[in-house]
Chains A and B, each alone.
Chain A
Amino acid sequence: MKKIQATPMIKENNRKFTNVILKNLSQPATLVSGILLLLIAFCAIFAPLIAPTNPYDLAVVSIMDGRLAPGETMFDGTVAWLGTDGAGRDVLSAIIYGLRTSLTVAVCSALIALTIGLLVGMTAAFFGGRVDAFLMRIVDIQLSFPAILVALVLLALLGKGIDKVIIALAIVQWAIYARTVRASAIVERRKEYIEAANCLGLSSFRIIWKHLLPNSISPLIVLATLQTAHSISIEATLSFLGVGVPITEPSLGSLIANGFDYILSGAYWITFFPGIMLLATVAAINIFGDHLRVLLNPRISK
């Protein structure tokens, strides 16, 4: 009986979502950015298989190959299509490995932030009153400080490391998720099916988990997409400033920082190509997210 109440609502939402994705993919900008995203994700996951050399294998990297221009041949006969850096690492391989670090940090922090945001937002929306006012005030205060500043300060106090960057980015982002979850859950809460679930005497936990959550998830998908782009950018900035990921596991940001020392001597490729990759990744996610927002919002898509 209870199940029959819940299932149709979610199914309908799912079908709507699939339709939206299909409709979305027929637009050229979205199609291109979507394919680019898949490619980037593929490269990041299979980095060791795709990269021409392993840039962190000290046995292979030779200082003799230092600062080769794009297209020149390295000592062992491999062509460095995007040149090599000061220590003789192939820039293309470093970018592919760097992409992996950048995406790992962004996705992990997004998942942690999303979880905290969901818990806080749902609690605020469901209980309302003083709980809601208190939680949302904390969110307001947190959001009144720019993300980059909060992350910078946290890392100044926590120290370097991938895990610490993930923690800092999760702390920076949870508030925006909490606010969005609360906003959409409050709208859903007033609807009749929640009233019906309440009448059936279901527990608060069950109503939140099985009824409220699945129906207020679509704005979250858009937000999570755009936030991932944002956190890739923040992580790169932090690593560039020297407070992000350690030099032993460089992300795109630390690769760019590494090339900073060479730009005055004309070796532009060490900073240029990682930056292009960063820009392409962030722009592709932003464009995809923007279209997703337009199409998932019934008011705009009609």
Chain B
Amino acid sequence: MLTFAIKRIMQSVVVLFVMSLIVFSMVNLIGDPVDMLVNPESLPEEIDRVRQDFGLDQPVHIQYWKFLAGAMSGDLGNSFIFGRPALTLIIERFPATLELATSALIIAIIVGLPLGIYAGLNPDGWGARIIMGGSVLGISIPTFWLGLMMIIVFSVLLGWLPVSGRGETANFLGIESSIFTLDGLRHLIMPAFNLALFKISVVIRLARAGVEEVMALDFIKFARARGLSSQRIVRSHLLPNILIPIITVLAIEFGTLIAFATVTESVFAWPGLGKLVIDAIVNLDRPIVVAYLLFVVTLFLVLNLIVDIIYAALDPRVRLQGDDL
């Protein structure tokens, strides 16, 4: 078990290293960064001085080494626009994104699970058809467009909910979040549903497939034969068995929620990580883009690492397979 974990950690470190190399070369070798830092009308001597100040006159491998040394100590350069350390900006914005993604995940489970179980239990009924049709629609509908339509309906036509922003936040048990104020909740509900919709469809499909698989098994037949009520069978025999795979998939997919939050944040002007990076891309604020990249890569590697190790702990087959490499 320990060897497996160590191997996986080593592998993640290698991936992170390779990613830093790719990011560095793409940012620094395509185009001259000096062009972006100085006024195009400056004198050649001035350009040379800037080049020296930023260490850009040195050989590439030394530049990379400096970049790596800086990254190790958390220094990824200052944002061109905000004039503050890029990593600090990223970390400041992260809680808003985390809040949005977590709310979306909870909504996806609360809405998707009952619908999926219903569709699985009555596979031929009209209800199931509507639910499954809805889930195809949910997977096909472009998130950003749905967000715009939500704004048109709930903000412009009905005037019920605010269009953008995060609203008031409050501090509860040391967590700063808009969940704790009414104004915050009013701001949160549209973006959270918007982000959740795709995952609701995924949960519906997983739950239905799980129900169909488990309901055909012998222990359900035995439970029926023992004369248990359908409700009891669903609650204490079916649910625990379908929940484990659904939770696992959602844990893996949590990363994609953070990635897709970029889109939702742009639509609703939610002041999170995604909004920050999209603005940075548009404004050519490279330090922010680089910092975001390395932050997200690290986040994903850690998430995958945790999932892999939990898998290995639960299922010896995974552990043995990992020994090939």
Contact = CB atoms under 8 A, between A and B. Distances in A.
A205 to B, nearest CB: 27
Interface stretch (B146-154, B175-183, B229-237): B146-154
Given A133-B324, A152-B262, A256-B148, A279 B26 contact: no
Given A148-B262, A153-B293, A242-B282, A256 B144 contact: yes
A158 to B, nearest CB: 8
A38 B95 CA distance: 46
Given A233-B142, A272-B149, A146 B136 contact: no
B190 interface: no
B165 to A, nearest CB: 14
Interface string B254-279: 01100110110011000000000110
Interface string B310-325: 0000000000000011
Contact of B139 (A149, A266, A286): A286
Q: Chain A CB within 10 Å — which of B148, B163, B277 has the most?
A: B148
A200 to B, nearest CB: 31
Given A256-B144, A282-B142, A157 B260 contact: no
B281 A264 contact: no
Interface in B23-50: 26-27, 30
A157 B262 contact: no
B86 to A, nearest CB: 14
B140 interface: yes
Question: Size band of the B side of the interface?
Answer: 35 or more
B34 to A, nearest CB: 18
Nearest to B31: A159
A241 B278 contact: yes
B152 A282 contact: no
A271 interface: yes
Interface residues of A, number: 39
Nearest to A280: B140
Contacts of B282: 242-243
A98 to B, nearest CB: 13
Interface string A159-193: 00000000000000000000000000000000000
A259 B266 CA distance: 14
Contacts of A237: 142-144, 263
Given A241-B278, A263-B156, A146 B145 contact: no
A244 to B, nearest CB: 11
A144 B139 CA distance: 20
A290 interface: yes
A266 B156 contact: yes
Contacts of B136: 283, 286-287, 290
A127 interface: no
Q: Chain A CB within 10 Å — which of B137, B144, B256 has the most?
A: B144
B270 to A, nearest CB: 14
A263 B151 contact: yes
A246 to B, nearest CB: 13
Contacts of A144: 300, 304
A137 interface: yes
A286 B198 CA distance: 14
Given A146-B255, A241-B262, A137 B325 contact: yes
Interface of A: 133, 137, 141, 144-146, 148-149, 152-153, 155-157, 229, 233, 236-237, 240-243, 253, 256, 259-260, 263-264, 266, 268, 271-272, 275, 278-279, 282-283, 286-287, 290
Given A256-B142, A278-B145, A279-B137, 5 more contacts: A133-B325, A148-B262, A156-B281, A237-B143, A237-B144
Interface of B: 15, 26-27, 30, 136-137, 139-145, 148-149, 151-152, 156, 163, 255-256, 259-260, 262-263, 266-267, 277-278, 281-282, 289, 293, 296-297, 300, 304, 324-325
14 contacts: A137-B325, A145-B259, A146-B259, A148-B263, A157-B26, A157-B27, A241-B263, A241-B278, A256-B142, A272-B152, A279-B137, A279-B141, A279-B145, A283-B137
List the 4 shortest-distance A-B pairs measured between CB atoms, nearest first. A275-B145, A283-B140, A149-B259, A146-B259
